[in-house]
Amino acid sequence: MRHLRLPAAAALMLSAVATPAFGGTVGFSCITNNVVSDCTIGAAQLSLDVVSEGSGQVRLTFSNAGPQDAVISEIYIDDEGRLFTGIASIVNGTGVLFEPGASPPKLPGRQLASPDFEVTADLLAQAAPAPPKNGVGEGESVSIIFNLRAGTSFSDVLTRFGDGTLRAGLHVIAFASGGSESFVSEPVPEPSAALLVLAGLAGVALRRPGRSR
């Protein structure tokens, strides 16, 4: 029954896409542009992975790929749709120590984002003193697990990142220039396109005439 193999594989792939644990990787754009080369470094090295934790939680992992000097010192969330109720926990990577709250309490240069980056209360974190040592340096990462508001799904989080009503902001310091920059997350690709492609493949496979040996 060779004709069953493709539908089965397609169904498995559809199941994986329809209920994803992993949402996608988000890039960042520089909004302050104090030093052009520092903005270029940050845009190349900084990323955010969006992952479902199940049980009404979402994990946001902020990474600095390196190799250039740069340290994430503060993380801010602009949650216009109020999807998150607060920080559940912070999972520090090796060499990183973040804690809830941040100083300054607003993203530096927030007015340069479009629209302005408005930090949502209680959705911010910072490296414990001293930031260059405990922040997210080259090759390091930190994960923040957020509680979802009742009635909100992981799909809602992806959609909001896609339309810009949910954004992450980073204050990055310790560039080789001695300067600092602020970055705001870019829209995350919608998973629906991949789902439609897989659904089409499954449909074609199911319509193929069967053959038995």
Q: Which domains does the chain have, with CATH numbers?
A: 21-187 (2.60.40)
DSSP codes, the chain: -GGGHHHHHHHHHHHHHHS-SEEEEE-EEESS-SSHHHHHHHHHHEEEEEEEEETTEEEEEEEE--SSS-EEEEEEEEETT--EEEEEEEEEPTT--EEES-SSSS-TTGGGSSS---PPTT-EEEEPSSHHHHSB-TTEEEEEEEEEPTT--HHHHHHHHHHTSEEEEEEEE--TTS--EEEEEPPPPPTHHHHHHHHHHHHHHHHSPP---
Tokens representing 35 are: 């030093």
pLDDT of residue 213: 42
Write the CB contacts of 129 (distance below 8 Å, at least 6 apart in sequence). Answer: none
Of the CA atoms within 13 Å of residue 68, those in its CB half-sphere come to: 16
Residue 77: is its pLDDT beyond 60?
yes
pLDDT digits (tens, 9 = 90+) for 8-61: 443 333 333 333 445 689 999 999 999 999 999 999 999 999 999 998 999 999
Residue 7: is its pLDDT beyond 50?
no
Confidence bin at 186 (pLDDT 50/70/90): very high
Residue 211: is its pLDDT beyond 50?
no
Tokens representing 27 are: 């890039």
- What percent of the chain stands above pLDDT 70? 77
Residue 190: is its pLDDT beyond 50?
yes
Tokens representing 34 are: 């104090």
Mean pLDDT of the chain: 84
